Amino acid sequence: EGFDLTPKQLLQVNAMKTGKHFIEIEQVANFINEFEYPIYFLDYETAMSVIPPFDGTSPYQQIPFQFSLHILDEPGAALRHEMYLHKENSDSTLELSKHLAKHIGNKGSIVTWNANFEKSCNTRMGIIHPEFEDFYEKVNERVVDLAIPFQQNWFVDHRFLGSYSIKKVLPVLIPELSYKDLD
C-alpha cells in the first residue's frame, strides 16, 4: 500500500493478494480468433560463438540449428510434427531453410513465443541465403506472438510472478509441460 504503481504492477499485486487470476476473455478471444488455419507452431533452437563460425555470421549471433514445427491443419485435426536438427559442423541455415520451406505452406498463422526472436532468425537466414529472403519475409508477415495476451495483461496469474516468460506461464497453465522436469 502507498506505492505508486503502474496499472500492470497493480494487476500483479492484486493477483498476488487475492491468489486469483484475471482474464480479459474478450481480448483473448479476439486475439485467438485472428489465427488462420493451418496453424503452424514454430520454435528455433540456436547456438552462438564469440568467433563467427561461418561466412555471413557475426560474433555472438544466434544461429538456428534446429526447428520444431507443429501443424494444426484445421479445428479438431490431429497435430502433426515436423522438425530439423543439423548435426554436421557446417552452416546449418541452408539445410534448415530448405526443410522449413518444405513444411510451411503459403497460408496460415505461424505462432511463436516471443516473435521478435524467430522473426530476427528468419531475417538473418534470408540475408545469409538470398534465395530464401522472399520466403522468410512472407513467413514473418504471418508470425503471431503467443506471448501477447500475457504481455498485454489480458491474462494475469499470481503464479506468473509478474513475468510473461514461457518458463513462468507454461507450468501454471499446463503443469504437465513444466520445464522443471526436463534433463
Nearest to 93 by CA among 60, 133, 59, 42: 133
**Residue 183 pLDDT > 70:** no
pLDDT digits (tens, 9 = 90+) for 81-132: 999 999 998 889 999 999 999 999 999 999 999 899 999 999 999 999 999 9
pLDDT of residue 54: 80
**Residue 182 pLDDT > 80:** no
Band (33; pLDDT cuts 50, 70, 90): very high
Please, how many CA atoms are within 13 Å of residue 107, restricted to the half-sphere of its CB?
5
pLDDT digits (tens, 9 = 90+) for 130-167: 999 999 999 999 999 999 999 999 999 988 888 888 88
Strand, helix or coil at 89? coil
Higher pLDDT, 11 or 86: 86
Name the amino acid, one letter, at 55.
D
**Residue 6 pLDDT > 80:** yes
